[in-house]
Structure 1
Amino acid sequence: METRWSQPAGIFELGFFKPGGPENRYLGIWYKNISVKTVVWVANRDLPVPGASPLVLKIADQGILGLFNNISMIWSSNTTTLVNVTAKLQDNGNLVMIGQDSEVIWQSFDYPTDTLLPGMKLGRDLLRGKEWHLSSWKSSQDPASGEWTWGAEKLGYPESKLKQRGLVKFRGRPWGSDLRFMSTM
């Protein structure tokens, strides 16, 4: 039996999925009403849970959102807080942990995988030390981080770059000029 959670608008669903077979399971978010499961975010993409061990997603002590099997914590939000928190899947597909006064303590949009949804960011926040980029799946059956990334870098004006194993394969013109793209292939 699979456990799934939907948000109020019914566009997205959070739950456990097995791409390509029963070997490995992942916690992810996907579109609810598309016949072909279209996963837009994977929590434990590089840490699959093998076999049929029971999985639980819960808020543990000190406000950590964690994915647990019967032995240990597989994945976590890597946050700690002393306030009471709740987890919510928002209408835009963002899984958030909300504290007092509706303050967002953690959000999946800060950890994009291979899909850019409205409201997500690409680039860097130097004040908070965050960087946002997309990373391909390893294969259609394996959501582990692949060799392709897409993001924005700032050297003067920001520009978009597609990289394969860290090598720039395609770059957009600086955002301060125009929106045409040029290839470095």
Structure 2
Amino acid sequence: MFSTESHSKIVVSDDGRGGWFAAIGSCNWLGSPFESFEVSVKVRDPAFCGRIVRHLATMSMGRETIWNELATDITILGRRIEMMPRTSERRVPMRILLASDHAARALEASVKATRRLFVTSHRIGVAGWPMIILPALAAARANGVSAHLYFGKGTETLSAKAAGEPTMDLGPSGVKLRPVYIP
């Protein structure tokens, strides 16, 4: 077994008008009961769509990460999409996060926050303490940042009930940790 370094669900398609789009979701659209925080975004920017396609090419190489015809074809498609002219639609800053990027981005957000930190997650477990909760506590104590952390489920090691218990302990620090049972 190997990891593709992604748990997102991605659909890339031509838009029927000469352009391309990518739909990126945090859940399995066909299998999710939609009982938790789920996010999907449709991206039409050619440069960003092309980068997504090229990431798919890397994931298609498999465990041995050996270039094959499929990976080559997907890479070529990604580069063609990237080179397409941008539309005049509105733009927002975006970044592709791979599995190894999450901890660094959470830490960066807590360090750069000046007034407010808002975090949602479908699940919280023991990894949430060092990656999310402790940096939020540090930001609240050092900079007076108001931090609101919301989650849908706990893991086996940290149940939703147990995860909700720190709410009182974290409350005076400016950090609110709240379970959300019906998003």
Higher RCO structure (Cα 8 Å, ≥6 apart): 2
Greater C-alpha radius of gyration: 2
Q: Which has the higher helix share?
A: 2
Q: TM-score, with normalisation over the residues of structure 2?
A: 0.30
Q: Which has the higher strand share?
A: 1
